[in-house]
Amino acid sequence: MGNMKLNLKIWRQKGPKDTGAMKTYPVNDVSEDMSFLEMLDVLNDNLVRKNEEPIAFDHDCREGICGSCSLFINGEPHGPGRGITTCQLHMRKFKDGDTIHVEPWRSAAFPVIKDLAVDRSAFDRIQAAGGFISVNTNGNLVDGNALPIPKVDADTAFDAATCIGCGACVATCPNGSAMLFVSAKVSQLSLLPQGRPEAKERVLNMVEQMDKEGFGNCSNTGACEVECPKGISLEHIARMNREYMVAGVTKK
């Protein structure tokens, strides 16, 4: 059984309209082998037993691939540690007696639904605005392997494609900017021949949607790159800046 005692300060908010506040919860019997989410499960279990409302937080795969989990832990998205999501964060990162602050992602574009759960559908709308390629499905498909692609481009596109859309980049950015996410989605397609025909509209439409959603403006602090669980590079933001400029100048 666990041997750590922790003092949690957690954001509680009944619904989108509620103002919300930080509330303190002591938790005992935390094992250092638990993930952060399992520790919250223990706390919620205690709350339910006491007939209190459990804390709402997002999670799904619990193995760092779906992008559902979030949480701003001790001032950083996905907590301390690099290249991991909150579900991959283990309690051994903390010490017995620690006070841990847990807050939801803060962004005008990610309104709080309840407690620690926020609405990230703004990302879906940005994707829908251009994060796709149009292909025939009538049987005349071109074999993807028949297209020569330089290894470096394929690797870079793949790196961009590892973005799981968690929103940590927005959460940590002092400007609440979504540039790292959007640039990863733009790069992933524009680096490959299949993505080129629609490249100009794609970058123009996705940036337009990004601005509409109310995300802030990138000022190149680089905080997103440090906190991104998938190590998405700022190089993609520069690529998007280039593509957008060229598209803006040359689009008819």
Partner 1 sequence: MARSALLGSSLAKKYWMALTGLFLSIFLIAHLAGNLQLLDMSPDGQLKFNEYAKFMTTFPLVKIVSYVLYASILFHAFDGILLAIQNRKARPVRYVHEKSSANRTWYSGQMALLGTLIMVFIVLHMKAFWYEMHWGELGMDSNGNKDLYTLVAVTFTQLWYVVVYVISMAVLAFHLLHGFSSAFQSLGANHPRYTPVIKSVGVFFAVIVPIFFALIPVWMFINA
- Given the rule CB under 6 A, which residues bind ligand FES? 59-62, 64-69, 85-87
Site for ligand SF4 in 207-236 (CB under 6 A): 228-230, 232
Output the 3-class SS for the chain. CCCEEEEEEEEECCCCCCCCEEEEEEEEEECCCCEHHHHHHHHHHHHHHCCCCCCCCCCCCCCCCCCCCCCEECCEECCCCCCCCHHHCEHHHCCCCCEEEEECCCCCCCCEEECCEECCHHHHHHHHHHCCCCCCCCCCCCCHHHCCCCHHHHHHHHHHHCCCCCCHHHHHCCCCCCHHHHHHHHHHHHCCHHHCCCHHHHHHHHHHHHHHCCCCCCCCCCHHHHHCCCCCCCHHHHHHHHHHHHHHHHCC
Tell me if 208 contacts partner 1 by CB under 8 A.
yes
Tell me if 229 contacts partner 1 by CB under 8 A.
no
Q: Which stretch binds partner 1 (CB under 8 A): 87-95, 121-129, 184-192, 204-212?
A: 204-212
> Which of 79, 130, 167, 195 is in the footprint of ligand SF4 by CB under 6 A?
167
Taking CB atoms within 8 Å and a gap of at least 24, the contacts of 243-246 are: 243/186, 243/190, 243/199, 243/200, 243/203, 244/203, 244/204, 244/207, 246/200
> Which of 36, 57, 72, 123 is in the footprint of partner 1 by CB under 8 A?
72
> To the nearest whole angstrom, how small is the minimum distance from the Cβ of residue 151 to ligand SF4?
23
Tell me if 131 contacts ligand SF4 by CB under 6 A.
no
Q: What does 6 bind: partner 1, ligand FES, ligand SF4, none (CB cut-off 5 to 8 Å by kind)? A: none
> To the nearest whole angstrom, how small is the minimum distance from the Cβ of residue 165 to ligand SF4?
5
Q: What does 234 bind: ligand FES, partner 1, ligand SF4, none (CB cut-off 5 to 8 Å by kind)? A: partner 1
Query: Which CB atom, from 76 or from 198, has the smaller least distance to ligand SF4?
Result: 76
Q: What does 66 bind: partner 1, ligand SF4, ligand FES, none (CB cut-off 5 to 8 Å by kind)? A: ligand FES
Tell me if 239 contacts ligand SF4 by CB under 6 A.
no
> Which of 211, 230, 231, 232 is in the footprint of partner 1 by CB under 8 A?
211
Question: Where does this chain bind partner 1 (CB under 8 A)?
Answer: 9, 11, 22, 72, 74-76, 80, 101, 103, 106-109, 172, 174-177, 204, 207-208, 210-211, 214-223, 226-227, 234-235, 237-245, 247-249, 251
